[in-house]
Chains A and B, each alone.
Chain A
Amino acid sequence: GAVVSQHPSRVICKSGTSVKIECRSLDFQATTMFWYRQFPKKSLMLMATSNEGSKATYEQGVEKDKFLINHASLTLSTLTVTSAHPEDSSFYICSARVPKLAAGFGGYTFGSGTRLTVV
């Protein structure tokens, strides 16, 4: 249970174009989702938190106009990298809070990631 599906797994785009990455919760409702960026051999950096039906909250230093996040339903959050440039090439991972279990805090589940290459 608590599966998050992320697509695409890999994408190559030309510089200046936009790319959309989808993150879907398959068997639960995800009111809160997170988007991370991971550089090679580095840890995960939280980019933003998206809450269903409201604006995303971006971490300091993350350009909200470049990384557009939409969380229009309880099962889908999208990250759009606008006017992508080679420096945006990275591994992007989404995550969702797992609904509270009877005992309390449910934890988090992660998508399989998207490798973005901008050429």
Chain B
Amino acid sequence: GENVEQHPSTLSVQEGDSAVIKCTYSDSASNYFPWYKQELGKGPQLIIDIRSNVGEKKDQRIAVTLNKTAKHFSLHITETQPEDSAVYFCAADERDDKIIFGKGTRLHILP
């Protein structure tokens, strides 16, 4: 089955700087790659996703890139703000549309 590796596990960036989180996946048949943000005590919130027919997608300060050949994808957050502090999960779909998650990255935005 699908295996998703995510790094770093913890990331601290100065407010206003950019943050990058990287993930790799194992199943070349995966076609859907969502990213979730989880705040303390809440369920994961879908913030952006990318499908295998595109290499990059952007939504305001958030962008995702996908390299299907290398089987890796990344989340980029620019102009970070205090409210970006949270745990971020990457994920990839497995056959029958299950989603397999990485272990998460705890992002700290420093004042």
Check if A and B associate. no
| Interface positions of B (Cβ within 8 A of A) | none
| Interface positions of A (Cβ within 8 A of B) | none
